Amino acid sequence: MFYLIWHTGIRSGTVCALDISDYHSDDQYLAIRNRPETGTRLKNRDRGEREINLKRGVCEVLDDYLDQNHPGVEDD
């Protein structure tokens, strides 16, 4: 989480609102989406929606985390 915040400058609440489907490893970007229906709102609501390009090194860390450490479960 810290690594992602450090390299992108996004808010910690935005990181917590991310779903795995928001990460596009092959194209190296995050799709930041407001989802009020699921309780994961962005501070700036729909105006906060955007795509954030990621460096290869950040993608490698995310890929490793998802492959090796992600619990593979969904929260409520």
Q: What residue ranges do the domains of the chain occupy?
A: 2-68
Residue 16 has pLDDT above 90, yes or no: no
DSSP-based three-state secondary structure for 8: helix
Look up tokens 């950040």; give the residue.
58
Residue 57 has pLDDT above 80, yes or no: yes
- How large a percentage of the chain has pLDDT more than 70? 95
Q: How confident is the model at residue 38 (pLDDT cuts 50, 70, 90)?
A: confident
Q: pLDDT at position 26, please?
A: 96
Bridge partners of 35, per DSSP, are 40
pTM: 0.81
Mean pLDDT of 36-59: 84
